[in-house]
Structure 1
Amino acid sequence: MTRRRPRIVIVGAGFAGYECARTLSRTAKGAAEIVLLNPHDYFLYVPLLPEVAAGILEPRRISVSLTGTLPGVRLVLGQAHDVDLDARRVAYTDPEDREGTLDYDRLVLTVGSVNKLLPVPGVAEHAHGFRGMPEALYLRDHITRQCELAGAAEDPRERAARTTFVVVGAGYTGTEVAAHGVLFTDALARQNTGLRDGPRPRWLLLDIADRLLPELDERLSRTAERVLRGRGVDVRTGTSVKEATSDGVLLDDGEFVDSRSLIWCVGVRPDPLVDSMGLPTDRGRLCVDAYLGVPGHPEVFACGDAAAVPDLTRPGKVTPMTAQHAQRQGKVAARNVAASCGHGAPRAYEHHDLGFMVDLGGVQAAANPLHIPLSGPFASAVTRGYHLMAMPGNRVRVAADWLLDAVLPRQGVQLGLVRSWSVPLDTETPEVARVPR
């Protein structure tokens, strides 16, 4: 150790990083210096991000202050871009473009993931992802703006194109974006005189798989498809985008869909920092052992989306990239980091999933808590109850927003604070809006 107290540096404050920092802050009790390196000063509760884009929740409701909820943890604002394993040093760039370094005795890599790109012409230029708060705020403004421009348009074809929204990827995120999005645009159309008598806004949900939510239980898939089709969403499985342009998207079946909105939810890939380290990876994820340690580097741990954690409940496989696993891995990583410093015993990570919940907006949801299939208003109540329980803060504010949304009209205003060029699809930092330099 180079200091009187060991310095533990945690890179990333997603589900894994936040839980690791919180657990360490509760158990270390001043015995170690805990430093959290993150590009912004909040933990983002990603499962409720679609509700921000749909105008239900205000952005700060799902943004939990790191300094306010992690006592004993020092926050350093910055984006890590290099890890020197020999010197035990992390290099980063802060929000004002200044370079900095952090020496460490223990390092926990929880850098998460970024948008997954496919080699489809035009997608990088015309599509937008859905990984961070800037993208959600942009989508909220963009949807509102397109409806307002459509209401003022005299050309029926332009009006139809501006009120057509294409979501690619019918996984967890894409399904929720489409489910909440169609309710949002219906509300906007009812408030807009220019759209009130025209056709409803159109939503398409595309996926190359043969069903919605292909990674989840088939019963959840059937419930979600029934609800979306009932709302008029055009669900197309076995379909993908062949090309994207400024005027619309060309599907692989030859149909061209006039649209000004392409929302890319095809999945995620590990943060590029993992590749730059020169360590063994599994499909881009850093290889670790069952104790979340990096082989050959006993001082380095990794978990969450960035790590290929062996799934002891399914021998030969790694844990999926879900918040449920990331959160629990963060706790285990904290325990094992403490054990490596001489406090307690290490523990292997093992977790059987407890089921999944998909919020479909309104009073609809698809859920299987403890693998008991639920749908309808009861599933919605269980889903919202779970989110309130899982959030580390802001519970009362979130519940208040839900109550107000149930009794008041949806607010349809676009502030224009996040522009299209600020949230490119091909970015290593979806959690930070690009600014002019």
Structure 2
Amino acid sequence: MARPRILVVGAGFAGVACVGRLERRLAPGDADIALITPVSYQLYLPLLPQVAAGVLTPQSVALSLRRGRYRTRIIPGLAIGVDARAKVCVVRRITGELTNERYDYIVLAPGSVTRTFDIPGLKEHGRGMKTLAEAAYLRDHVIAQLDLADAAVDEQEKISRLQFVVVGGGYAGTETAACLQRLTTHAARRYPRLDPSLIRWHLIDIAPKLMPELGDKLGRSAMEVLQRRGVEISLGVSVAEARPDQVTFTDGRVVPTRTLIWTAGVVASPLVGTLGAETVHGRLTATAQMTLPGFDGVFALGDGAAVPDLKGGDGAVCPPTAQHAHRQARTVADNVIATLRGEPLRSYRHRDLGLVVDLGGRDAVAKPVGVELRGMPAQAVTRGYHVGAMRTNVAKARALTNWILNAAAGDDFVRIGFLAEEQPSLRHFEQTDAYLTPRQVREHIASLNADQR
């Protein structure tokens, strides 16, 4: 009798934690486990701003999947479509060819992509902070603006290269603005021809508050830290138009800039739309057991699933955070195993551990288990939390070493060489054009079946 095939899509917090628990709780002969991912690492997403600022190396946040994964078959590719009736997932391998992966049970944890709007010029000129490649590219881009401004003869060009716009007052945007502003401030000392007063950072958000999840006091504290450093914060404002050398805000202001960093939220991976299933604000409508109603053997969790928040009540769903993704993964793995064994499934419930925000250097705000912290105590809790949450000891050691080295030796301002003549856009970095429609999925599977006959 053939062993059941369990297919996990996505190597983020949810997918990797799910695979790890399945490996621990299933004997080798119980099932075949496979993981689909275009990269061979789990990205520790919360620390990407520090990679962009050069505080951490890319390897520090790229946790190898080959450490501790001995039974799971890792499929190097991107899941671009799922036919739940045929129980087939279509995969575009990193070589570009399409293959079919059959399954008995599938766990959908494809994560999310940067949310964009129909704003003129945004998709062409905006830069995201969702992938390791984007963070590395953004670091090179920011340092390149300093190099070019230092060599510029035209004053207007110099001004536009030394102004930076970050859109999004959530964790990603706030930490990105904080870390990169600190980088450019320190870098200015190495450019004797640059006037430091010309370096200006703008952080804008359409919301009325900065990081409202932190509460009024901590949100205001984070805002004061950034303003004290010289970051100009504008709330209730967004982007009306983006051009190569300027950005127009919705309040009418025109900012000359060559750098637009877009972190205004996320949406579920386009893979979600290939199933033809019911969604809530673009996320798959899942049960509290993280199954999909009407779909046999399909489980969904993380950023791509609207999982009921049983503690919140009133139809609330769990927010797309790493905390929820990691904890949901344990419940999903247990429920897949329960399904294999004909046992009842368990509902997902959580206890919030709090929030941490690293603003670089000695600055941070944190709210562990409801206790509000600022400054060095918050920074100690924040970095302690991140180290504890990393899956491998190698990653923990790298992060700690990088932080100590940065504190002792300061920042460096070297461009690695990721810039190209044609600047890649959000869709290039996040491969949002790669996915099939439900009809294309069915047609592709039918054509392959016909060829095999």
Which band: TM-score by shorter chain? over 0.9
Instruction: Name the CA shift for 1:292/1:229 in 2 (closer, same or farther; >3 Å).
Output: same
Q: CA deviation at 1:275?
A: 1.1
Corresponding residue for residue 158 of structure 1? 157
Q: Which is worse superposed, 419-428 or 230-239? A: 419-428
The answer as to whether partners of 2:113 and 2:130 remain within 8 angstroms in 1 is yes
Residues 1:236 and 2:234 aligned together: yes
User: Are the equivalent residues in 2 in contact too, given 1:131–1:430 (CA < 8 A)?
Assistant: no
| Structure 2 Cα separation of the partners of residues 203 and 386 of structure 1 | 28
Contact 1:132–1:431, Cα closer than 8 Å, also in 2? no
Structure 1's 419 and 326: CA in aligned 2 closer, same or farther, altered over 3 A? farther
C-alpha distance in 1, partners of 2:157/2:429?
A: 34
Whole-Å separation in 1 of the counterparts to 2:410 and 2:225: 22
Q: Secondary structure at the residue paired with 1:392?
A: coil
**Corresponding residue number in structure 2 for 1:216:** 214
Partners of 2:422 and 2:324 lie apart in 1 by 33
1:390 is matched with which residue?
Answer: 389
- SS in structure 1 opposite 2:369? helix
**Equivalence for 1:102:** 101
Contact 1:114 1:427 (8 Å CA) reproduced: no
Counterpart Cα distance in 1 of 2:100 and 2:204: 44
Q: Which moved more, 1:338-347 or 1:125-134?
A: 338-347
Structure-2 separation of matches of 1:230 and 1:16: 37
Give CA deviations for 1:186-214 in whole Å, capped at 9, x if unaligned. 1211112222x442511000011111113
Aligned 1:334-413 pairs, distance under 5 A:
334-342=333-341, 345-393=344-392, 394-413=395-414
What is the distance in 2 between the residues matched to 1:288 and 1:22?
22
SS at match of 2:287: coil
Q: Name stretches of at least 5 consecutive residues in structure 2 with no aligned partner.
A: 435-453
**Does 2:51 align with 1:40?**
no
Give the CA deviation at 1:431: 10
Mean CA deviation greater in 143-152 or 155-164 = 155-164
Q: Deviations over 1:154-185 (max 9, x none)?
A: 22322121111000111110000001011100
Q: State the 1:258 CA deviation.
A: 0.4
The code of the aligned residue for 2:78 comes to Q
CA distance in 1, matches of 2:107, 2:60: 27
3-state SS of paired residue (1:426): helix
Look up the SS of the partner of 1:378 in the other structure: helix
Residue by residue over 1:373-418, the C-alpha shift from the partner in whole angstroms, topping out at 9 and shown as x without a partner, is: 0000010000000000000021011100000000113111112225
* Pairing of 1:216-365 with structure 2 (within 5 A): 216-315=214-313, 316-342=315-341, 345-365=344-364
Whole-angstrom distance in 1 between the partners of 2:432 and 2:175: 19
CA–CA separation in structure 2 for the residues paired with 1:332 and 1:422: 41
Matched residue, 1:73: 72
Deviation at 1:4?
2.4
Distance in 2 between the 1:321 and 1:131 partners? 14
Aligned length: 430
8 Å CA contact 1:135, 1:430 repeated in 2:
no
Q: Using the TM superposition, give the Cα deviation of residue 432 of structure 1 relative to its aligned residue in structure 2, in angstroms.
A: 12
Helix, strand or coil at the partner of 1:71 = coil
- Whether the 8 Å CA contact 2:131–2:429 is kept in 1: the answer is no
SS of structure 2 residue aligned to 1:257: strand
SS in 2 for 1:78: strand
In structure 1, what is the Cα distance between the partners aligned to 2:132 and 2:52? 9
Q: Which residue of 2 aligns with 1:51?
A: 50
Instruction: Please tell me the root mean square deviation across aligned C-alpha atoms, in Å.
Output: 1.7
When the two structures are superposed, what TM-score results if normalisation uses the length of structure 1? 0.95
Quick check: 1:131–1:431 contact (8 Å CA) kept in 2? no
Distance 2:86 2:210 in 1: 47
Counterpart contact for 1:205–1:236, Cα < 8 Å: yes
Query: CA distance change for structure 1 residues 345 and 421 in 2, over 3 Å: closer, same or farther?
Result: farther
Q: How does 1:123-202 map to 2 (within 5 A)?
A: 123-195=122-194, 197-202=195-200
Q: How far has the Cα of 1:429 moved from its partner?
A: 2.7
Distance in 2 between residues matched to 1:225 and 1:257, nearest whole Å: 21
Structure 2 SS opposite 1:371: coil
Equivalent AA in structure 2 for residue 395 of structure 1: K
Distance 2:422 2:79 in 1: 23
1:61/1:397 contact within 8 Å kept: yes
Q: Where has structure 1 moved over 4 Å in runs of 4 or more? A: 430-433
Secondary structure in 1 matching 2:264: coil
CA contact (8 A) 1:186 1:200 kept: no
Aligned to 2:22: 24
Deviation of the 1:342 alpha carbon: 0.5
User: How many Å separate the matches in 1 of 2:341 and 2:327?
Assistant: 22
Give 1:11's aligned residue: 9
Matched residue, 1:426: 427
Which whole-Å deviations, capped at 9, do the CAs of 1:114-139 have from their partners, x for residues lacking one?
Answer: 01011111111111111101110110
| Counterpart secondary structure, 1:83 | strand
8 Å Cα contact 1:137/1:418 also seen in 2: no
* Aligned residues of 2:246 and 2:256 also touching (Cα < 8 A): yes
The one-character-per-residue Cα deviations of 1:89-128 (angstroms, maximum 9, x if unpaired) are 1111111111111111110000010010111111111111
> Identical aligned pairs, as a percentage?
43
- 3-state DSSP class of the match of 1:49? helix
Cα offset, 1:345, TM superposition: 4.8
Query: What SS class does the counterpart of residue 11 from structure 2 fall into?
Result: coil
Provide the C-alpha distance between the structure 2 equivalents of 1:432 and 1:180, rounded to a whole number of angstroms.
Answer: 30
Return the alpha-carbon distance in structure 2 between the equivalents of residues 202 and 431 of structure 1: 32
Residues 11, 109 of structure 1: 8 Å contact kept: yes
Aligned partners of 1:8, 1:351: CA distance in 2, in Å?
Answer: 25
What are the ranges of 5 or more consecutive residues in structure 1 without an aligned counterpart? none
In 2, the alpha carbon distance for the partners of 1:216 and 1:118 equals 26
Q: Deviations over 1:191-244 (max 9, x none)?
A: 12222x442511000011111113432222111101100110001111111111
Q: Name the CA shift for 1:63/1:198 in 2 (closer, same or farther; >3 Å).
A: closer
**Residue 416 of structure 1 aligns with which residue?**
417
SS of the equivalent of 1:13 reads coil
Change in 2 beyond 3 A, CA 1:418/1:364: same
